[in-house]
């Protein structure tokens, strides 16, 4: 790679690969609060947002670009720790921080992360590939991140332990899982659960022109906190920012119980209709996409 400190970064993609580009804001007061989130956590989550989008296409990250606008009075230590958190995650996934922009912020910390990735030509896993009869799987557990937000909203003065709510404070992007699903041709459509299961499943259905039926009791609910407890169903169905992978699997493909150490759970199937139902035994209700609204929910 050439071009650090140049007008643009210059990057070479592997031969016969396409470029993936994703860009995500991390804004103080919207995506994090300085009294709730350590600088390392903010840096980590900032990059996770981008890497998780690459994972959801079955791609591999090439480089990240960070645009950062900071208030004049921000302590240097905050910035250093933020960058540590971001670079620590970048290093583990072999991602170079290849550039970005800096500016003074009139108000609050503003970050925008861009990730450039690559995927073999024509092999990106889109949201639009789901077919009736495909089974629906989700990785890991859901609702852990939203539960942390709920706890902090209930008692804004209490600082939660990152260890007890790891999926909220230091979510791991599912890059290896995404890549393996793509290499083995196991997923017909995929998305990351950044907006919450109900919204993200709706995105797949809308883009694929299909419906879905899930069984709520099959949804893997996270176990978080101290003492550790299973999260509410509502937060597993609608809470965002777990950064798990939600994907559909064509008939005839077998999915192991885990890939890359991450459990995979079948939660339902794609249907011919246009609507998404959540079933409990024979009784079902339409699952409305309840867009995850960060701290304003």
- In angstroms, give the least distance from the CB of 122 to a copy of itself: 9
Q: Which stretch binds a copy of itself (CB under 8 A): 35-43, 101-109, 155-163, 165-173?
A: 101-109
Q: Would you call 103 exposed, middle or buried from its count of C-beta atoms within 10 A (0-12, 13-18, 19+)? A: exposed
Cβ of residue 52: shortest distance to a copy of itself, in angstroms?
A: 8
> Which CB sits closer to a copy of itself, 202 or 213?
202
What gap in Å lies between CA 113 and CA 10, rounded to an integer?
Answer: 17
Applying CB under 8 A, which part among 105-113, 208-216, 265-273, 275-283 lies near a copy of itself? Answer: 105-113
Nearer to a copy of itself, 182 or 221 (CB): 182
Residue choice 100, 133, 225, 284 for contact with a copy of itself (CB under 8 A): 100
Distance CA(123)–CA(182), nearest Å, equals 7
Phi and psi at residue 50, to the nearest 5°: -75, -45
Of 253, 279, 275, 255, give the one whose Cα is nearest residue 265.
Answer: 255
Name the token pair of 117.
């990735």
What's the min distance (Å) between Cβ of 199 and a copy of itself? 13
Mutual orientation of helices 39-55 and 175-183 as an angle, nearest 10°?
10
Please enumerate in sequence order all residues whose Cβ is within 8 A of that of 5, keeping only pairs 6 or more positions apart, or say none: none
Whichever of 23 and 153 has its CB closer to a copy of itself, that residue is 23
Q: Give how many residues touch a copy of itself by CB under 8 A.
A: 61
Shortest distance in whole angstroms from residue 103 CB to a copy of itself: 5
Residues 3 and 11: their CA atoms lie apart, in Å, by: 8
Give the residue ranges of DSSP H helices in 170-243: 175-183, 197-208, 233-238
If the CB atoms of residues 110 and 186 are measured against a copy of itself, the closer one turns out to be 110
Output the CA torsion 158→164→168→171 (10° steps).
Answer: 150
Angle between helices 76-92 and 39-55 (to 10 degrees): 30
Please pick, from the candidates 36, 42, 47, 53, the single residue that binds a copy of itself as defined by CB under 8 A: 53
104 near a copy of itself, rule: CB under 8 A? yes
Residues 127, 167, 174, 221: which binds a copy of itself (CB under 8 A)? 127
When asked if residue 83 is in the footprint of a copy of itself (CB under 8 A), the reply is no
- Cα 269 from Cα 182, distance rounded (Å): 20
Stretch that binds a copy of itself, among 38-46, 85-93, 116-124, 163-171 (CB under 8 A): 116-124
Q: Is 226 exposed, middle or buried, given 0-12, 13-18 or 19+ CB atoms closer than 10 A?
A: exposed
**Which residues, including other chains, have CB under 8 Å from residue 146's CB and lie 6 or more apart?**
196, 231, 235, 238, 239, 240, 241, 242, 292
In the bound complex, what is the minimum distance in angstroms from residue 63's beta carbon to a copy of itself? Answer: 7
Residue 73 is a binding residue for a copy of itself (CB under 8 A): no
Nearer to a copy of itself, 66 or 287 (CB): 66
110 binds a copy of itself (CB under 8 A): yes
Q: Does 101 bind a copy of itself (CB under 8 A)?
A: yes
List interacting residues with a copy of itself (CB under 8 A). 2-3, 5-13, 18-25, 27-31, 52-54, 56-57, 59, 63, 65, 67, 69, 98-101, 103-108, 110, 112, 114, 116-117, 119, 121, 124, 126-128, 190-192, 203, 207, 296
């Amino acid at each position: 790679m050439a071009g650090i400190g140049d007008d643009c970064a210059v990057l070479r993609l592997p031969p016969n690969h396409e470029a993936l580009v994703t860009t995500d804001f991390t804004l103080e007061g919207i995506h994090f609060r300085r009294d709730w989130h350590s600088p390392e956590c903010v840096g980590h989550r900032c990059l996770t947002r981008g890497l998780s989008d690459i994972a959801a296409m079955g791609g591999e990250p090439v480089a990240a670009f960070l645009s950062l606008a900071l208030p004049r009075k921000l302590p240097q230590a905050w910035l250093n720790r933020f960058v540590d958190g971001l670079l620590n995650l970048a290093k583990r996934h072999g991602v170079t921080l290849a550039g970005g922009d800096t500016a003074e912020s009139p108000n609050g910390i503003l970050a925008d992360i861009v990730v450039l990735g690559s995927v073999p030509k024509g092999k990106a896993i889109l949201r639009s590939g789901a077919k009736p009869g495909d089974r629906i799987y989700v990785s890991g557990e859901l609702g852990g991140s939203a539960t942390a937000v709920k706890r902090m909203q209930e008692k804004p003065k209490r600082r939660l332990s990152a260890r007890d709510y790891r999926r909220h404070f230091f979510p791991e992007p599912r890059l290896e899982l995404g890549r393996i699903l793509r290499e083995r041709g196991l997923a017909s459509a995929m998305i990351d659960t950044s907006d919450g299961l109900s919204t993200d499943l709706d995105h797949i259905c809308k883009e694929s022109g299909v419906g879905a039926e899930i069984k709520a009791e099959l949804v893997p609910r996270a176990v978080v906190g101290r003492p550790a407890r299973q999260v509410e169903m509502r937060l597993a169905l609608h809470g965002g920012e777990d950064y798990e992978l939600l994907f559909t699997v064509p008939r005839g493909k077998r999915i192991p119980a885990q890939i890359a150490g991450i459990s995979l759970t079948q939660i339902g199937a794609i249907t011919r209709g246009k609507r998404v139902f959540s079933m409990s035994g024979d009784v079902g209700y339409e699952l409305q996409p309840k867009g995850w609204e960060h701290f304003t929910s």
